[in-house]
Amino acid sequence: MFQKKLLFFTLGFVFLFSGCGQVAPNPSEIETGRNNVSDTTEIAPQTVSIDEGGFGSGETSATTDGATGSYNSSANGFQSVYFPFGEYEVDESQMQRNIDRAKETQGKIKLEGNCDEFGTDEYNYALGLKRAQAVKESLINHGIASGRIFIVSFGESNPVCTVSSDACYLQNRRVDFRLVK
């Protein structure tokens, strides 16, 4: 009798703590949409971290453009580029000022991809990279040498606004420009 109880207890213990394993999805079955995080390896090798200590002009950023009312957290005469929720397609109407400024300047340009607080850390890091890459491609398409442009992603870790509102979230979905001398 004792042996049967011990056997049932042992089997119950094994079943209780073994759990069910989950099978990873087959990569060929994953739908790859334009905002799917699974393709971030395509842009990851192009990223670089740059220590900003000693770089830049010391120009104060974080200003508001009175004409548009949009927040600007870029520096050195550049204007931040903003994105709708979950998107990384560049609105070319936001790029002209940055294209002109890039043509006027010397040195390297660092593009910093940023996101709002929604989504996982991994998703936001990847989305920040995609936003920075899209802005980089826009600059290259307008004649800026690709060797002058570096991209990084801060994901959701570099918010300029922490109020829970749509206007605040929009300020955090951006790519900032920094001139690296």
HEC letters along 72-140? ECCCCCCCCEECCCCCCCCCHHHCHHHHHHHHHCCCEEEEEEECCCCCCHHHHHHHHHHHHHHHHHHHH
pLDDT at 53: 36
pLDDT at 146: 95
The whole-angstrom separation of Cα 25 and Cα 32 is: 13
69-181: CATH topology is 60s Ribosomal Protein L30; Chain: A; (3.30.1330)
Q: Tell me, what's the pLDDT at 12?
A: 61
pTM: 0.63
pLDDT of 30: 46
Range name among 45-54, 77-86, 96-105 with the lowest pLDDT average: 45-54
CA–CA gap between residue 173 and residue 148 (Å, rounded): 23
Non-local (6+) Cβ contacts of 34 within 8 A are 88, 89
Residue-wise pLDDT tens digits, 135-169:
999 999 999 999 999 999 999 999 999 999 999 99
Domain extents in the chain: 69-181
Phi, psi dihedral angles at 105 (to 5 degrees):
-100, 165
170: CB partners within 8 A, 6+ apart: 82, 116
Q: Which residue has the tokens 């001139």?
A: 179
Query: 109: which 2 tokens?
Result: 């340009």
Q: At what angle do helices 96-104 and 121-141 cross, to 10 degrees?
A: 70
Closest CA to 127 of 26, 30, 62, 33: 33
pLDDT at 82: 95
Give the pLDDT mean for 119-124.
95
d(CA 108, CA 102): 9
